[in-house]
Amino acid sequence: MLDRQAFVDALLARVPDAELALAEHLDDHGGDLLLHLLLADALRLTVSAFHAGDRDLSERILNVMARGLDEGDDYVANAVAVSFVEDFGAGRGESDDLLALWPPVLRRELGR
């Protein structure tokens, strides 16, 4: 079971590109890790990478989000469901083409 710190560690291990976003997040919030807000940033990074043609980066982020939803504790799973999955479609560039890359566990959550 992934707790908040283990999930963030997994994200940074698979997506070193997220390190800058995490540093900015911590700086903006006085060193506090607010996972819901960080995952909204991760969604924007996913969309940005996809539109820049970096499908690999988008897929690595999506796979970590799927793992958080599937293996995370209640806090992590809720943060992924609410601040990543449920937010999809509200922002610019969040397309069906990107949605096609989503792992099944994320797509099932979106359809709930």
Place of tokens 């937010």: 87
Residue 12 backbone zone (phi > 0: left; psi -120 to 50: alpha; other: beta): alpha
- Dihedral angle over CA of 25, 69, 78, 47, nearest 10: 50
CA distance 92 to 61: 18
Asked if 69 and 105 touch (Cβ cutoff 8 Å), the reply is: yes
User: pLDDT digit string (tens) for 4-19?
Assistant: 999 999 999 999 989 9
User: pLDDT digit string (tens) for 38-79?
Assistant: 999 999 999 999 999 999 999 999 999 999 999 999 999 999
92 pLDDT tier (thresholds 50, 70, 90): confident
Rounded to the nearest 5°, which phi and psi values hold at 29? Answer: -120, 30
Tokens describing residue 60 = 């690595």
The pTM of this model reads 0.93
> What residue spans define the domains of the chain?
4-110
So what's the pLDDT on residue 30? 95
Amino acid at residue number 110: L
Asked if 106 and 85 touch (Cβ cutoff 8 Å), the reply is: yes
37 pLDDT tier (thresholds 50, 70, 90): very high
